[in-house]
Each structure stands twice: as C-alpha cells, then as structure tokens.
Amino acid sequence: MDLSAARPSVELLICTTCRIMGAPAEGPVRPGAILHAKLARAGVPGVTVRAVECLSNCERGCSVALRGPGRWTYVYGDIDPDLHLDALIDGATRYAATPDGLIPWRERPEHFRKHCIARIPPLETQNV
C-alpha cells in the first residue's frame, strides 16, 4: 500500500499582495505574485501551491505559510522571489516529508531558520 497517497495534503500559501519592504507600493506585478508564478511553474513535490491575498505580514513581505492537517503551521517572511526560490522549494519539500511539520532545526534551509514569523500548533493538538 502506498502510504504517501493517503497522507493529508500540504499547502504552501503565497501572499500575492506582498511586496518587498521599501519597494514602491505600485508596480506592474507584485513580488508575491511573481513568487507564486515561479513556484507554480517549478512545482514542489508533495505540496499544493496556492495564491492567497494578504497574510497581514506587510512589514516582512514577501510572505508564505506552510500548513497541513495534523501539522504545525509556519509563516515565513522576507522572501525575495529571485533569491530564495530554491530554499523555499527545499523547505516546503522537507516539511511535506514530515508527519507533523516539524523539520529538525539543522535540516531547515537557512532562510527558514532566520525568517520564521510564526509557528502555530495543529488544530487537532490538545496539549502542546
């Protein structure tokens, strides 16, 4: 039996209204939308990439969230679509490979270690 097919879906939510701190408010395309397009094209094994509007992390955009049933949710910021694409794919792939979303600290991409905005327990957790 293939257990990976029975695993709950992991989502990588990309804020498409985000802009990089200090960038002009108006522009042809927001960096968050660029990040979403790049990730959708690249694909992330075991992860569904979704565009969302406003993760309310404007001071530290571009922002993303990783979540899945029974897993810890993480919000990451300060993501540059040109500089951090590989780190984001690596981190999301590692997240999807865990049963609870907890990637050992030293196995996380450096950007994940230094730019975590929030860590939220699973809804199903009684005692954390």
Query: Would 47 be classed as within a structural domain?
Result: yes
DSSP state of 81: T
CA atoms within 13 A on the CB side of 65: 20
Name, in order, each residue with C-beta under 8 angstroms of 18's C-beta and a sequence gap of 6 or more.
30, 31, 32, 35, 54, 55, 57, 58, 61, 62, 63
Q: What is the pLDDT of residue 1?
A: 32
Which residues, 6 or more positions from 69, have their beta carbon under 8 angstroms from its beta carbon?
A: 8, 9, 122, 124
Residue 4 binned pLDDT confidence (cut-offs 50, 70, 90): very low
Find the CATH number of the domain harbouring 35.
3.40.30
Q: Which has more confidence, 1 or 101?
A: 101
**Number of independent structural domains in the chain:** 1
- Does residue 69 carry a pLDDT above 80? yes
Cβ-based burial of 87 (10 A; exposed 0-12, middle 13-18, buried ≥19):
middle
In a domain? residue 41: yes
Domain membership of residue 82 as a residue range? 8-120
Q: What is the mean pLDDT of residues 24-39?
A: 82
DSSP label of 8: P
| Percentage of residues of the chain with pLDDT beyond 70 | 83
What pTM value is reported for the model? 0.84
- Residue 126 placed within a domain: no
Per-residue model confidence (pLDDT) at position 12: 97
pLDDT the model gives residue 5: 46
